[in-house]
Amino acid sequence: MFRGVPALAALLTQAASRHSGALTVVQELSDTRRDASSTLAPGGATQSRYELVSVGNLIGGEFLHRPAHKRSRGFETIVEALERTPPGDGEVPMLALIDRGEQEITVTAGLLLRSIQRALLLAAEYEDASRFTDPANLIALEGWGQDPRNTTRFSVRQAARQVTFILEDRSRATISKEWPGLADLYELRTVTAGGSQLNELLRRRAI
């Protein structure tokens, strides 16, 4: 994604890690501000000649985060939970679990509930990440990148299906603006909302 432009990658990642995704620049204090700052400094402590100024906010920061564990592993665990569920329609899966014993019902239900919770978390991360290419975010990034106080200057070139980040040395990174839509997850959210009692049971049994 941004491998060919490590300086830009570091800059964007730092911005995404800040509170509210603040896009900041460093500027030198004016003489008036410096004098006021020195007057207010306790015990005559030396004050910095520079200050951090926010010029906008990044959205879709999840696009830049690199989780400790691959997201693909999250999908694998969901598949594993589904594969544990006996096949069939209606009450057939439940009856098959009953035949395996009460413990099997609890374990399987717990795995399925946590898999649904994991799926909703992944969906939320995906939804947030998709906002990175929102026009409003790209405009904010363009203004930040072109700010003369920014130590890593860059421009943002938009096309119908992609956006390109171009640094001053002409190195660049291009990403797609096309994101598949999410399915309706209402039923999954309903399941997790009603699963609080099962969650408590699983905690007590350490499953």
**Three-state secondary-structure class, residue 45:** coil
Distance (Å, whole) CA 16 – CA 76: 27
Q: Read off the pLDDT of residues 145-195 as tens digits, 9 standing for 90 and up.
A: 999 999 899 999 999 999 999 999 999 999 999 999 988 888 778 877 766
Q: What is the mean pLDDT of residues 35-47?
A: 57
CA distance 118 to 108: 15
The predicted pLDDT at position 207 comes to: 47
Q: 154-158 and 50-57: which strand pairing?
A: unpaired
- d(C-alpha 185, C-alpha 130), whole Å: 17
How far apart CA 81 and CA 110 sit, in angstroms, is: 9
At 92, is the pLDDT very low, low, confident or very high (cuts 50, 70, 90)?
A: confident
Cα dihedral across residues 137, 143, 149, 154: positive or negative: positive
Max CA separation in the chain (angstroms) = 81
**pTM confidence score:** 0.77
48-88 pLDDT, tens digit per residue, is 788 899 999 999 999 998 877 777 777 788 888 888 888 88
Higher per-residue confidence, 47 vs 183: 183
Among 195, 42, 61, smallest CA distance to 127 is for: 61
Written as six digits, the tokens of 137 are 């975010």
User: Which pair of tokens denotes residue 185?
Assistant: 């997850």
